[in-house]
Amino acid sequence: MTVRTLPPLGPNRKLKLPREVEQTLPNGLTVIVLRRPAVPLVELRLWLPFGRAHLARGLMMSQTLLSGTATMTSVQLAAELQKVGGGLSAGADADRLMISGTGLSTGLNRILELLAEVLTGASYPNDEVATERSRLIDGIRMAQSQPTHLVRKALLKRMYGRHPYAVQTPEPEQVEAVRPAALRSLHAARVRPAGAILLLVGDVQPDKALDAVQRALGDWTGDGAPGELPPTPPLEAGPLLLMDRPGSVQSSVRLALPAVPRTHPDHAALQLANLVFGGYFSSRWVENIREDKGYTYGPHSTIEHSVAGSALVVSAEVATEVTGPALLETIYELGRLASLPPKEDELEQARQYALGTLQLGISTQAGLAAVASAYAGSGLRLEFLAEHAARLAKVTRDDVAVAAAKYLAPARAVTVALGDAGAVEAPLAVLGPVRTEAAGP
Amino acid sequence: MAAGRSRIPATKHPIERFTLDNGLRVVLAPDRSAPVVGVAVVYDVGIRSEPEGRTGFAHLFEHLMFQGSENLEKLAHFRHIQGAGGTFNGSTHLDYTDYWETLPSNALERALFLEADRMRGPRLTEENLRNQVDVVKEEIRVNVLNRPYGGFPWLRLPPVMFDTFANAHDGYGSFDDLESASIADATDFFDRYYACGNAVLAVGGDLDVAEATALIERHFGDVPARPAPERPDFAEPDLTGERRQTYTDRLAPLPAVAAAWRVPDPIGDFAGYLPYVVLAEVLTDGDASRLVERLVLRDRSVTSVGGYLGLMGDPFDVRDPTALVLQAHLPPGGEVEKVLQTVDEELDRLATDGLAADELARTQARMATHLLRETDAVLGRTLQMAVLEQQRGDPGLLGELPRLVGEVTEEQVRAAAATLRPQRRAAVEVVPGGGVR
């Protein structure tokens, strides 16, 4: 066997940001166009502020927005979109209503016309609303049978208490009560250009695309509704909440920790601290509980940014019989980084990963659209990516140590586990107080 | 060209192909629109080649390929990729196993070094094997055993549809088989299937062809030449009568059904196969498709319906035998029998009355968008080209697909629909175990 050595990296490639053109129309709609002509397609994202919208009605509205207008049925809308290789879909969460689509770039004008048709004329026909109501209820029932959904639901409740983020999925009976008239009023109140952001990414000429938007959506009018959310409350650590799911062959373990928004001075250091801890495969925690101990398949740790606050969420599905030991290692790795600075090579590796994945993330039209719309929803523009890269480049070991002590301390964690309480309650109780509740809808 | 019909655009990525002296086939697809590269190595071995008594072994072995190699300790592979700003993974399919990384283009040589090192030989140790058996068991628990509809329908249809071990067995593997796996098994598997003559290397993205060629020669040129093993014939006769299986999923709250029909050989009869790819979209792509309009919107007999080619949803990277699959979730108390009858009725109608004006063209336009979107990502493009090279010797087919899909005629789609008869169908029904927990 010949000993071979790892080749060095070539010089770093410069971060290339696409040309960005932005304009706010007289009706208050902000339009951002990013040109990436790699394939002859265009990605569309319309971000509408949706804070404080009624949960069940908001979700139902996202399911029925494309169900018909005064002049078109849902089937006609879908067929017309298909003709230009297009499609639209809508989704809602506690922050925003998002309409997303993709199509052939030659069909941009038509897609915008159909978007305008929906924005100004969605009619929420009774029959279609009834159909979608049943589908949504079935969808919620399906979600409620998924362990990942149930543990998420319990975690949000523990994290957010009385904040609107605490409950993000309505109960079936709440959906049952939603009538078309309520959807029409919600649409009238909230589907408004003021404060909304339309993003177009792809093989388009920015000036022409702006003109096309102006033509199609210039007549869409109305003021936005006040929907500002209060900041999220601080996390309150307490006993581990164990949701009993008898017969579970795995436990779903979640820890929530405090985090900061993208623009906060601690953010870059926190991002790197999270990577060193468990935010990517080559992290201490993943190497420990997967590659050394085989407790789990896909553990991950992510900083989640929402408009009203950010949080760091640690997630793993672990075998029932090692639930206690898996939590022990998790607390150990959090505590180790919160107590001692990382090694230089660990920091460098995490830094390179953070910088490289920024490049990878914007290397497709869809990726660029995802990043740019997430940024736009927090009031940022793509140029922030370059600023963030510059901050990542400067973070020191001490910065990571300070951020880890502040945000990753296990003493601050809100912990929830979903699993077979009969098997895991006692092993978990060894590590700290446990409160057990029945899981289920 | 009919009025109102979108012109189906094409993208052309230049492609270079060559074979090293040791038999390794190489595909290069330069595209300098973003400073990133994708590297893919695919080996011509998958779930169908697993030995009896070793279900799940191809996938387990894929995990072992990440556990260190000639010059690399355990964990080194991951750290070198991610420490260069890249991401990686591998996946096991019916007919092939892929390994890939995508990185900023200054790390191209590093990725080639890492792939070449494990092509020479992974470090197969008892400790790593036991560790990865545990990890794979957790993967199966999270994806199959601990959730409703786990493995539905990709693990549930094959044993109903096929008779031979190769086609019918559980590709994730039984825990017994996984636990019985030995280092000797792994060594044999590597020796037999992981020959460089049985592999394709593809590199796409921000690269210079001459430089990349020199780097590939440098790192892969001295991988020992080993020929590809002969690939067995996995053919099976078509069904002559309907096959139906029902099982209770103790976690599932609602009924579901999947039905599958054999389709023409995707490689040997591509022209005969392609109409089925289009048919699946005519039936299920969006609100204006046949089955969504009928079953979801009109009858409300299902809450969702989907259709696709290939048991793993892989229309252009699977060999014969394969299938067109339809799957649907039903509302509470929904009747599977009725849903299947309606599907038959709709297929009949399609075969007899043909398509509406525009129906085919709009479906083809939408398919073009999907195909183009997949190729925008350097990694998606690179992986697909590697498999197309391996299975067809034609990586350039990727760029031709939107056009070829657009050339499928109404007559061909009707003829395809006419073959999806109940007596050729394999169906699996999920009975909800009531466990809304």
Please state the separation of Cα B357 from the chain's center in Å. Answer: 33
* Chain B nearest CA to A225, separation (Å): 31
CA atoms within 13 A on the CB side of B14: 8
As a whole number of angstroms, the distance between CA A166 and CA A161 comes to: 6
Among A1, A138, A441, the residue with its CB nearest the CB of B303 is: A138
As a whole number of angstroms, the distance between CA B86 and CA B83 comes to: 7
Helix ranges, A144-241 (H): 147-160, 172-176, 180-190, 206-217
Which of A350-354, B4-8, B205-209 has the weakest average pLDDT? B4-8
- Chain A hits for B74, CB-CB cut-off 8 Å, are 291
As a whole number, mean pLDDT of residues A386-404 equals 97
Neighbours of A263 (CB within 10 A): 12
Q: Say yes or no to pLDDT of B437 above 50.
A: no
Cα dihedral across residues B245, B246, B251, B256: positive or negative:
positive
* Chain A nearest CA to B17, separation (Å): 22
* Chain A nearest CA to B279, separation (Å): 15
As a whole number, mean pLDDT of residues A259-267 equals 98
Mapped onto helix, strand or coil, the DSSP state of residue A270 is helix
Tell me how far CA of residue B322 lies from CA of A190, A329, A330, B161, in angstroms: 48, 44, 44, 10
Q: For every residue of B180-240, which 3-state class applies, written as one string?
A: HCCHHHHHHHHHHHCCHHHEEEEEEECCCHHHHHHHHHHHHCCCCCCCCCCCCCCCCCCCC
> Taking Cα atoms as reference points, which of A438, A430, A268 lies closest to residue B437?
A438
Are B283 and B326 in contact, with CB atoms under 8 Å apart?
A: yes
Q: Helix A397-407 crosses helix A344-361 at what angle (to 10 degrees)? A: 80
Q: Say yes or no to pLDDT of A418 above 80.
A: yes
As a whole number, mean pLDDT of residues B68-81 equals 96
Which of A4-18, B21-35, B183-197, B343-357 has the weakest average pLDDT? A4-18
CB contact under 8 A, A82 and B5: no
The answer to whether A98 faces chain B, any CB pair under 8 Å, is no
Nearest C-alpha in A relative to B3? A83
Run of H or E including B413: helix B410-419
* Chain A nearest CA to B165, separation (Å): 27
Predicted pLDDT of residue B435: 52
Nearest C-alpha in B relative to A12? B106
As a whole number of angstroms, the distance between CA B18 and CA B221 comes to: 12
Phi, psi of A414 (to 5 degrees): -95, 120
As a whole number, mean pLDDT of residues B271-296 equals 98
The answer to whether A164 faces chain B, any CB pair under 8 Å, is no
Q: Say yes or no to pLDDT of B3 above 70.
A: no
Among B4, B435, B437, the residue with its CB nearest the CB of A83 is: B4
- pLDDT tens per residue across span A226-261: 789 999 999 999 999 999 999 999 999 999 999 999
Confidence of residue B9 (pLDDT cuts 50, 70, 90): confident
* Chain A nearest CA to B287, separation (Å): 5
Predicted pLDDT of residue B397: 96
Show Cβ contacts of residue B282 under 8 Å, excluding neighbours closer than 6 positions. B289, B290, B350, B355, B359, B360, B363, B413
Best probe of the A interface among B77, B175, B283, B369, by most A CBs < 10 A, is B369
Phi, psi of A85 (to 5 degrees): 65, 20
As a whole number of angstroms, the distance between CA A105 and CA A34 comes to: 13
Burial B331-347 (b: 16+ CB within 10 A, else e): beebebeebbebbeebb
Show Cβ contacts of residue B309 under 8 Å, excluding neighbours closer than 6 positions. B263, B266, B276, B277, B280, B315, B318, B322, B323, B324, B325
The answer to whether A215 faces chain B, any CB pair under 8 Å, is no
Q: Say yes or no to pLDDT of B436 above 50.
A: no
Nearest C-alpha in B relative to A438? B437
* Chain B nearest CA to A438, separation (Å): 9
Burial A417-433 (b: 16+ CB within 10 A, else e): bbbbbebbbebbeebee
- pLDDT tens per residue across span A287-308: 999 999 999 999 999 999 999 9
As a whole number of angstroms, the distance between CA B236 and CA B94 comes to: 15
Confidence of residue B184 (pLDDT cuts 50, 70, 90): very high
- Chain B hits for A141, CB-CB cut-off 8 Å, are 253-254, 332, 436
Among B11, B85, B329, the residue with its CB nearest the CB of A352 is: B85
- Chain A hits for B359, CB-CB cut-off 8 Å, are 79
**Chains A, B: CB contacts under 8 A, how many?**
259
Phi, psi of B428 (to 5 degrees): -130, 130
As a whole number of angstroms, the distance between CA B229 and CA A335 comes to: 51
- Chain B hits for A298, CB-CB cut-off 8 Å, are 139, 142
A positions 122-161 inside 8 Å of B (CB): 128, 131, 134-135, 138-139, 141-142, 144-148, 150
Q: Say yes or no to pLDDT of A87 above 60.
A: yes
As a whole number, mean pLDDT of residues A9-22 equals 89
Residue B224 burial (CB < 10 Å; 0-12/13-18/19+)? exposed
- Chain A hits for B175, CB-CB cut-off 8 Å, are none
Whose tokens are 């078509």? That residue is B238
Predicted pLDDT of residue A1: 57
Tokens coding A7: 């080749």
Mapped onto helix, strand or coil, the DSSP state of residue A423 is helix
> Taking Cα atoms as reference points, which of A61, A91, A118 lies closest to residue A370?
A91
Predicted pLDDT of residue B5: 60
- pLDDT tens per residue across span A139-154: 999 999 999 999 999 9
Nearest C-alpha in B relative to A86? B366
Higher pLDDT, A371 or B5: A371
Whose tokens are 């109608």? That residue is B349
Burial A394-414 (b: 16+ CB within 10 A, else e): ebebebbbbbbebbbbbebbb
CB contact under 8 A, B376 and A41: yes
Among B108, B130, B376, the residue with its CB nearest the CB of A39 is: B376
| Residue B146 per-residue DSSP state | T
As a whole number, mean pLDDT of residues B319-347 equals 97
In the beta sheet, which residues pair with residue B243?
B426
* Chain A nearest CA to B236, separation (Å): 35
Nearest C-alpha in A relative to B112? A7
Whose tokens are 């990185």? That residue is B103
Are A124 and A67 in contact, with CB atoms under 8 Å apart?
A: yes
Are A269 and A399 in contact, with CB atoms under 8 Å apart?
A: yes
Q: Chain-wide mean pLDDT for chain A? A: 96
Are A75 and B297 in contact, with CB atoms under 8 Å apart?
A: yes
The model carries a pTM of 0.96
Among B78, B80, B362, the residue with its CB nearest the CB of A79 is: B362
CB contact under 8 A, A367 and B104: no
Among B138, B363, B369, the residue with its CB nearest the CB of A103 is: B369
Q: Chain-wide mean pLDDT for chain B? A: 95
Q: Say yes or no to pLDDT of A116 above 80.
A: yes
